[in-house]
Amino acid sequence: MNKPYSILLYYCYTPIADPEAFREEHHLFCLELNMLGRIIVSKEGLNGTVSGLKEDCEKYMQTLKADPRFSNIDFKVDASEEHAFTKLHVRTKAEIVHSGLLHINPNVRTGIHLTPKEFREMKDQQDVVVLDVRSDYEYSLGRFKNAVTLNIENFREFPEKVDELKEKYKDKKILTYCTGGIKCEKASAFLLEQGFENVYQLHGGIIKYGMEAGGEDFEGKCYVFDNRVAVDVNKVNPTVISTCHVCGTNSDRMVNCANPVCNLHVPICEKCGVEMEGACSAECKEHPEKRPYDGTGYYQKELNGYNPLKGFNRRKTKQVTE
């Protein structure tokens, strides 16, 4: 059965002279195509995850690729029964992924890009270290077999961990990976800057590896930043590595704690979800603000009359009448 929607994951490091002007233009274009999702515009490029009807997504991709600035953009495309988002946000920021490494331009120097096939062939070699540059809640749900993980809550903490990596792995070949490839662009460049000599990155990230290499040896599920929360990657030798926050049994069912004050994002099995009414602890179960549990552990944010044009300063256009 053909699914009517597509979910696009993409990024492109390319100079954008006037990010705010581009943001307004791009926001309007997304509205015209009924696209939903999150897009970041910066002087250094574009980063987005969006969803829409297949034909609208095709037009979106064709239009971006027709712009010389984005001609090399690599879209990861997944089919869906529905939109993966409820809102459209197009924002300008200093970086397209927050790292604090503003001086690094991946177009000048970065790790050697490996195709999923090349990554699969290299990852188990004796002189290779496979490095996960994602946050702890992401790799706790799924990661490559024998990958080195970092105790970080967000990517901007990555530079602080490089000295630890130097002590153990400076003379090794470092294969970095992340969800879609964007974090590796600056992570691998920073490793080179800090004296590592053999640095590589999985082009297209975990998502593309699953699509083109069957996801072999990726254990668990891949955390994604849309309403799906987690997606299957491994079609060759799948397994579950995450455990229920409450009882410790294997579970890859990611939920938010029903207590909105806590809102902890962790795996909780179906049995504990029912018994705890969606809460992550006895204290949260008794919290007066606890949300009703519907069995999913996913709580839709209140739209509160959401208007995608709010704060959107569309330039005045001259009305042409016949």
Residue 74's CATH number: 3.30.70.100
> What pLDDT does 304 receive?
52
Q: State the pLDDT at residue 311.
A: 57
Is 178 designated active site?
A: yes
Domain of residue 124, residue span: 112-220
Q: What is the pLDDT of residue 321?
A: 37
Residues 158 and 191 in one domain: yes
Q: Is there a domain that residue 45 lies in?
A: yes
pLDDT at 322: 38
121 & 216 share domain: yes
In a domain, 103, yes or no: no
pLDDT of residue 319: 40
Question: Among 172, 188, 220, which residue terminates a domain?
Answer: 220
Listed as own residue / partner, the contacts of 260-267 with beta carbons closer than 8 Å and 24 or more positions apart are 260/289, 260/290, 260/291, 260/299, 261/287, 261/289, 262/287, 265/137, 266/137, 267/140, 267/141, 267/242, 267/243
Q: Could you say which of 12, 57, 178, 244 is catalytic?
A: 178
Among 60, 92, 124, the domain boundary falls at 92
Question: Does residue 234 belong to any structural domain of this protein?
Answer: no
Q: Is 105 inside any structural domain?
A: no
Task: Single out the residue in 185, 220, 255 at which a domain terminates.
Answer: 220
Question: In terms of domains, do 203 and 254 share one?
Answer: no
Number of domains in the chain: 3
Same domain, 266 and 312: yes
Instruction: Per-residue pLDDT tens, the chain, 322 aa: give them.
Output: 689 999 999 999 999 999 999 999 999 999 999 999 999 999 999 999 999 999 999 999 999 999 999 999 999 999 999 999 999 999 999 999 999 999 999 999 999 999 999 999 999 999 999 999 999 999 999 999 999 999 999 999 999 999 999 999 999 999 999 999 999 999 999 999 999 999 999 999 999 999 999 999 999 999 999 988 899 999 999 999 999 999 999 999 999 999 999 999 899 999 999 999 999 999 999 999 999 998 988 876 655 555 666 656 554 443 433 3
Residue by residue, DSSP assigns 203-270 as TTHHHHHHHHHTTTTEEE-EE-SSTT-EE---SSS-----B-TTT--B---EEE-SSTTT--EEE--H
